[in-house]
A and B are shown apart, each in its own frame.
Chain A
Amino acid sequence: MSDSPENIGDLSRRTLLQRAAAAGLLAVPAAGMLSACAGSEPTKSADSGAAKSKDNPFGVKDGSAVKVVVFNGGLGDQWAKEDKVLFNAKHPNITVNMSSTQKIKTEEQPKMATQPSDLVMNSGADIMDRSTLINEGAIEPLDDLLTAPAWDSEGTVADSLLPGTVTDGTQNGKFYVVNVAYTVWGNWYNAALFKREGWQAPATWDDFFALAPKIKAKGMAPYVHDAAHGYYPRWALFASIWKAVGKQPIIDIDNLKDNAWKADGIVAALEPWEKLVKDKLLLPGKLDHTQSQQAWLDGKAAFIQVGTWLKNEMSATIPPGFEMTLSDYWTKPGDKAAKDVFASSGEGFVVPSKAPNKEAAKEFLRAILSKAGSAKFAELTKSLASTKGSGDNVQDTALASANTLMKSGTQDLISVKFPDFYADLDKESQNLAEELMAGRLTAQQFVDKMQAAADKVAKDSSVKKQTRTA
C-alpha cells in the first residue's frame, strides 16, 4: 500500500468526485433559485388597429390572434370554452388560442416583461401578486372596457356588473382587474340532515353554541375548516370582525392606521371563535380544503365555512340527497353590521401591458361578461358570475341559497383589502388565523400580533403604501 498524491493528469477517484461535487455545487441547490431571478430584454410590439364600432368598440383587427390563459381550478375551464364560441360567433376571423393551467404565476410571470399572453386569468394559489403587477406597470388599466357598450344588453359593461365588481378591480383610482365570478362566503350545512334531525340552522353564535351539544351527541363534530391554508379561516375571522364593528374600523386596518386593530369590539368579535376551538367543537385533525370538505360531505361535521365554488369543486363526490346550503356567518347581540354579507367578485382577468393584442383581449372580456356568457358560467360552475342575473335560471340548492343570502343582505359587502395590498401582512394574517384556530393564540393575542405586524409594514420603507377609501 502506498500514498498517492493527486498527480496532475491522473484523475483519481477522489479528485473526480471532488470535481463532480464542485460542479454539482453550481447546479444544486442554488441554481434553480438563482436562475429564477434572471430575465432578459423586452421586445416592443407595434400597435395597429382596425376601425372602432359599437360591435367592435376597441377596433380589433380581423385576422389577428389572441392568446387567452384560463385558470383551471375549482370552476373548471369549460365555461371559458363557451365564451370562445360566443366570441368567434361575432368575430369569426380572429383566432383565439386558449390554454388552461393551474400554474398561472409559474408559467406567466417569466413572460410578463417580454412576451406575455394577451389575457391572463390571475387566479388560484399560484397567483401573480396584484399590487406588484400594478406598481411595476405590468398590467393595463381597463377603464375603457367599463365604458364600452355591453355585449348583449343595454348600457355599458359597467352597468351590467354586480355591486363591488368595479371597486374590487380598482387600485390607485384605475380599473385593472376584471373579476368574472361572484363568490359568497358563509357557513354551509346539509339542509336535508337538519330537516331529518329537526335542527334549526343557527343565525347567531348563541344559537350555534346551543345546538353544538346536540350535534356532538350524534357523533358529529359541529365545525370543520381548512387548516392547511390560512386564508380559509381568515375569511371567517374577518367576517366576524366586520359584522361586529362595521366598515370604518376595517378601512382603518386596511390603511394601516395607528392602533387600528385595537378598536373597540374587535377582540370581542373573535372570542366566539376562541370559544369554538377551546370547547373542542372542531373536527380533530389538520385537514386541507378538499379533505375538510369531503369530511363535511361524509357527515363527520355539521358546518364548514367556505365560498360558493364549493359545489363545483366537490361535485364528483356529493352524496345523493345531500342539500348543500349556504347560511350567513353567525353574529352576536349588538353587532353593528350584522346584515352585511361576505361576498366579492373574484377570479380576476388581467391584460399585460406588453401584450401584443390588447384590443382583442378586452373584446374577449366583453364576451365573458355578456348575458349569454355569464349565464353559461353559472350553469356550468353552479357559481354566480359577476354579471347581473347570471344565476336566475339555474336550479340548484347551493346557488339558490347563495342568491337568497345576497338578497337578504345590505348594499355594503364585507371586504378586506390589506391582504391584496401587502404580501407580508397577507402571510402574517394567514399564519395567525391558523394559530388562533389551532388554539395556540387567544383572540387578544391574535389582535396584538396583527397590530405588531401592521406596524412593521407601516414602518417598512421598501413597501409601497396603498389607500382604501370605500
Chain B
Amino acid sequence: MRHGVARFVTGFLALPLGLYLFYVVWPFVQAAGYSLTDWGGYSDTQNFVGLDNYVRLLSDELIRKAFWHNVFFLITVPLFTIALALFLAFLLNVGGREDRAGIRGVFGSGIYKIIFFFPQVLSLVVIAVMWQQIYRSDGQGLINGLMIKIGLVDADNPIAFTSDPEPFLGVPAVLWWLLVIAVWSGAGFYMVLFSAAMQSIPKDIYEAALLDGASRFHTFFRITLPLLRDTVSVAWVYLGFIALDMYALVFVMTPSQGGPNHASEIFASVLNFTAFQKGQFGYACAMGVALAIFTILLAAAQLRITRRERIEY
C-alpha cells in the first residue's frame, strides 16, 4: 500500500467503527451473555445457567406457535409484496400502450408512483393506528360501515378483523388481516426499487421483443423478471427481515398484544412478554439470540440459492 494510505483510512474509520462496536456489537455480545443466565432485568445479580434457556426454548409451546406464525409471514409477506410491487412497477414503466414510439407506462403513471409510495413515508405505528380505524369492528369502521350500508355485512355480526381467530386456510384470520397491512405498506417501496431497476433495462430489448410479436405477458416473464433477478432476490431478503419482525402491527392492532388467545403471537411478542411481563430477561435474551441466528442463516441461504451468473447490459 502506498505510504500514508493506511493511516488515512484508519483515521476515517476509527470513529464510526468505534461507535458501531460500542453501541451495536457490544449490546449483542451482552445479550448473548445474558442468554446464559437467569437475569430478571431489574437487578444487577444473575446466575449462570449454561444452555438451560436454549433447552427450554425447544420445548416451549408458545414459542413454537409464534415461530410458525413468523414462518407464515416469512412466506407470504415477500411473496405478495414482491408480486404486487412487480405488477405495479411493470404497469408504470413498460405496461402502457404500445402503438406510439417507445415503451412507456400506463397513463398517469407519475401520479400513481407517488400514491403507491406514500405508505412508505408513514411510520409503522401511524399505519397501524390508521388501519385500526379501517378495521374497526362495528358500524363506525371504514370497511364494516361501508359493507353494512350496502348490505354485504350483517350489522349484528360485523367482520371482527384482528379480533378473529377463526382459521382461514389453516391460518388464523387475524394473521391474514395483518398481512394485508404489511403488503399494502411495503409494496410502494419495492415498486420504486423495481421501477429503478426496470428503467436500467435497455428499451431496445423490449422493442425487439415487440417486433417479434411478444405479448405483455411474455415480455414480463421472459425479459423483465429474469433481468430483475438480483433486485428481487435482495428485496426478498429485506422483506424476510420485516416478516420476522411484524412487532409493531401485532402490538398495536391485536387484542392483548398477540391475541385473541395467542392467535397472532409472534416471536417478538413472546419475547417482549417474557422479558417485560414475566421478568425473565435471560430467557428472553435466548429467544433474541435464537431469532438472530435464524435470521442470519435464512439470509445466507437465500442469497446463496439465488446466486447466479448475471447479465451485463
Cβ B310 vs Cβ A462 within 8 A: no
A89 beta carbon closer than 8 Å to chain B? no
Cβ A427 vs Cβ B42 within 8 A: no
B157 touches which of A4, A36, A284 (Cβ 8 Å): A284
A435 touches which of B160, B261, B285 (Cβ 8 Å): B261
B19 beta carbon closer than 8 Å to chain A? no
A112 to B241 Cα, complex, angstroms: 31
Question: B-side binding surface: helix, strand, loop or mixed?
Answer: helix
A318 beta carbon closer than 8 Å to chain B? no
Query: 30 A–B contact pairs at CB < 8 A?
Result: A3-B310, A14-B230, A18-B234, A26-B25, A28-B241, A28-B245, A29-B247, A29-B291, A33-B268, A37-B275, A39-B34, A109-B276, A128-B276, A129-B279, A131-B279, A132-B41, A133-B42, A136-B42, A138-B42, A228-B163, A284-B156, A285-B137, A285-B144, A427-B277, A431-B256, A434-B259, A434-B261, A438-B163, A462-B38, A462-B280
A314 beta carbon closer than 8 Å to chain B? no
Contacts A25-B299, A423-B278 given; does A34 touch B288 at CB 8 Å? yes
B1 beta carbon closer than 8 Å to chain A? no
Residues of A with C-beta under 8 A to B261 = 431-432, 434-435, 440
Residues of A with C-beta under 8 A to B295 = 25, 29-30
Nearest CB on A from B285, distance (A): 4
| B268-303 interface code vs A (CB 8 A; 1 in, 0 out) | 100101011111110111011101100110010001
Closest chain A residue to B296 by CB distance?
Answer: A25
Across chains A and B, the number of contacting residue pairs, with CB separation under 8 Å, is 188
B309 beta carbon closer than 8 Å to chain A? yes
Cβ B27 vs Cβ A435 within 8 A: no
Contacts A24-B238, A25-B296 given; does A33 touch B311 at CB 8 Å? no
Residues of B with C-beta under 8 A to A38 = 26-27, 30-31, 34
Residues of B with C-beta under 8 A to A228 = 163, 255-256
Cβ B292 vs Cβ A30 within 8 A: yes
Contacting B at CB under 8 A, from A37-73, are 37-39, 41-42
A136 touches which of B41, B271, B292, B313 (Cβ 8 Å): B41
A42 touches which of B35, B44, B230 (Cβ 8 Å): B44
A98 beta carbon closer than 8 Å to chain B? no
Residues of A with C-beta under 8 A to B141 = 285
Given contacts A34-B31, A285-B144, 12 further A-B contacts (CB under 8 A): A24-B241, A25-B295, A27-B24, A28-B241, A30-B292, A31-B28, A35-B31, A38-B31, A129-B277, A129-B279, A132-B42, A284-B157
Cβ B311 vs Cβ A35 within 8 A: no
Closest chain B residue to A35 by CB distance?
Answer: B27
B155 beta carbon closer than 8 Å to chain A? yes
Query: Which residue numbers of A lie inside 8 Å of B, CB to CB?
Result: 1-4, 13-14, 17-18, 21-22, 24-31, 33-39, 41-42, 105, 109, 112-113, 128-129, 131-133, 135-138, 227-230, 280, 283-287, 291, 295, 423-424, 426-427, 430-432, 434-435, 438, 440, 462
Interface-centre pick from B230, B273, B277, B283 (highest chain A CB count, 10 A): B277
Contacts A1-B312, A25-B296, A285-B138 given; does A434 touch B275 at CB 8 Å? no
Interface residues on B, range: 35 or more
Nearest CB on B from A37, distance (A): 4
Nearest CB on B from A281, distance (A): 12
B105 beta carbon closer than 8 Å to chain A? no
Cβ B136 vs Cβ A291 within 8 A: yes
Closest chain B residue to A298 by CB distance?
Answer: B140
B192 beta carbon closer than 8 Å to chain A? no
Residues of B with C-beta under 8 A to A27 = 24
Cβ B288 vs Cβ A138 within 8 A: no
Cβ A427 vs Cβ B28 within 8 A: no
Closest chain B residue to A424 by CB distance?
Answer: B278
Residues of A with C-beta under 8 A to B59 = none
Nearest CB on A from B167, distance (A): 13
B40 beta carbon closer than 8 Å to chain A? yes
Residues of A with C-beta under 8 A to B238 = 21, 24
Closest chain B residue to A422 by CB distance?
Answer: B278
B242 beta carbon closer than 8 Å to chain A? yes
Cβ B241 vs Cβ A25 within 8 A: yes
Cβ B312 vs Cβ A37 within 8 A: no
Q: Which 5 A-B pairs have the closest CB atoms?
A: A132-B279, A285-B138, A29-B245, A286-B163, A30-B292
Cβ A283 vs Cβ B138 within 8 A: yes
Residues of B with C-beta under 8 A to A227 = 163, 255
B271 touches which of A33, A42, A113 (Cβ 8 Å): A33
A138 touches which of B43, B260, B273 (Cβ 8 Å): B43
A253 to B160 Cα, complex, angstroms: 33
Interface-centre pick from B56, B241, B261 (highest chain A CB count, 10 A): B261
Contacts A14-B230, A24-B238, A284-B155 given; does A136 touch B40 at CB 8 Å? yes
A27 to B238 Cα, complex, angstroms: 11
Contacts A109-B276, A135-B279 given; does A33 touch B291 at CB 8 Å? yes
Cβ B260 vs Cβ A431 within 8 A: yes
A343 to B25 Cα, complex, angstroms: 49
